[in-house]
Amino acid sequence: MSQVLQDQYGLRQAKVSLIAQGLDDLTYNPRYQYELRTNPIMVDPKPTSVSLWHSPPDIEGAIKVNHRHAGWTYKGEEKDSNGHPIPTWEEKLINVKRWNHAQNRMAVAGEDVGGLWGCSQEFYPTMLQFVSICDRAKKEGTPIKRALAYAGIIESTSYPTLEVVNKQIELEQAETLTHILRSVCTLETTDMLDIEKIWTFTGPGISRHMLGDTAVPLPKKGSFSVVEIQQLDKDMAHVAWTEEFFMKNYEANIRELNLSSIPFQMEKSKQLKIATIIDTIAGTAAGSWSAFTGADSTRNPYPDIDTATSAINAVDGNPNTFVSSNEVYHAFIRNTYVTGFKQGESGSPWGGITYGNRVVRSAEGIQNALVWGIDNLIPNGYLAIYDRRAVRLRQGPVNSRDYRDIKTGVEGRLWKDWNLAYNWRTNLTKRITGVA
């Protein structure tokens, strides 16, 4: 299972000119919605369509919001009042995270974790037979498609479902985190698409002055604030192939290259949304931390940071997260007020410059309790400071669908991913602009 599924399960060698192109094109709209666009193909997917719904898995530290089906893939959908497909969450198939864990334990340590390996009771025998045939064919050097055909799997009604499940397994195994902004926000998981209000309650407070023996303090009451989520954004991808695609030979595995690029681009779409939220935080202008007068920095960054953190502390926030570009981070750690050394002076940490998207937990002059996220999706010139609870990414369900249009011979795959980045409490977020 550690190998790419095209090797294990015999997903066809890509041999076509793709109808869908431009998969690396991320398009922005004002609702922070980034869509992976391909050339649309007007076909009716109903004749041989398989649609599966994937509920986001449990994530350590994430807030669960109406999350009853964590990590499971389901088959079955119905139409809502507007005619749009929605999941029924009734026919449970597989928990991909558990399946991958079981496969990895078997591959690495030869350990059988027991149980159903993350499958439902009904789906387990089908999945086990499928994997057993694929593994045996691979060891014997037999074409996997031929082995599946001999076993009657390809002609079975369960085969389209198996192929979509296996693609989801591959997507879960893919390393997609090339940006770090997901690591510096609060994650929420939900399997609901409904309108929702997020309430915050502030208690009534207490009377702190000294009271006499018989004095009674004035009554107080708490208060609510609300953030209303009207709708999760929907990211989509669609790739398709003609019949002629499978009749030609190509030097590169075009089909699989396109399919395997989708999870990376879906992830980047979410990271871009988080970056947009950070970029729209209210800012206060400061001066350059990278400017020098002689061998000394012109501006001390600490008073600028103190102003922002004090404003967050004043509303009972915890300014525990810094986010910036690499240039801003370098301007801070090279500032002579931070290093305590003049520019070029012996012992100065000027040689310790690093690059790349990363999370720093022990920045020069910063306590370890604070994290500093550095990502090239953040524009140069400002430092964002916020309580991590404020900047949020809500992950909703994911739908994947394979189809084949019998009339045209076109077959394809669609992905839909519901998610939303938002600022939960704007008074817990600040930006210091003009610092680099």
pLDDT band for position 300 (cuts 50, 70, 90): very high
Is the model more confident about 21 or about 306?
306
Residue 385, token pair as written in the block: 């400071």
Does the pLDDT at position 166 exceed 50?
Answer: yes
Does the pLDDT at position 350 exceed 80?
Answer: no
Does the pLDDT at position 325 exceed 90?
Answer: yes
Per-residue pLDDT, 141? 79
For 147-165, what is the mean pLDDT? Answer: 75
Is the model more confident about 170 or about 215?
215
Per-residue pLDDT, 369? 65
CA-to-CA separations, 308 to 275, 366, 385, in angstroms, rounded = 19, 15, 7
Report the range out of 24-33, 43-52, 127-136, 286-295 with the highest average pLDDT: 286-295
Per-residue pLDDT, 47? 43
Q: Contact, 397 vs 54, CB < 8 A?
A: yes
Per-residue pLDDT, 52? 86
Say which range, 179-183, 275-279, 347-351, has the weakest mean pLDDT.
347-351
Is the model more confident about 322 or about 333?
322
Is the model more confident about 7 or about 230?
230
Is the model more confident about 353 or about 431?
431
Helices marked H in 187-321: 254-279, 301-313
Strand order in the sheet with 358-360: 283-285, 429-433, 382-386, 321-324, 371-374, 358-360
Does the pLDDT at position 308 exceed 80?
Answer: yes
Per-residue pLDDT, 243? 86
Per-residue pLDDT, 20? 32
> What does the domain layout of the chain look like in residue ranges?
278-391+428-433
Query: Mutual orientation of helices 159-173 and 124-140 as an angle, nearest 10°?
Result: 70
Does the pLDDT at position 397 exceed 80?
Answer: yes
Is the model more confident about 404 or about 384?
384
Does the pLDDT at position 94 exceed 70?
Answer: yes
Per-residue pLDDT, 3? 34
For 17-35, what is the mean pLDDT? Answer: 33
Per-residue pLDDT, 210? 60
pLDDT band for position 60 (cuts 50, 70, 90): low
3-state SS assignment for residue 270:
helix
Given the structure tokens 């910036």, which residue do they identify? Answer: 324
Is the model more confident about 147 or about 313?
313
For 97-122, what is the mean pLDDT? Answer: 78
DSSP state of 2: -
Per-residue pLDDT, 112? 72
DSSP state of 28: E
pTM here is: 0.72
DSSP H or E stretch at residue 337: helix 336-339
Where does 278-391+428-433 sit in CATH, by number? 3.30.2320
Is the model more confident about 327 or about 23?
327
pLDDT band for position 19 (cuts 50, 70, 90): very low
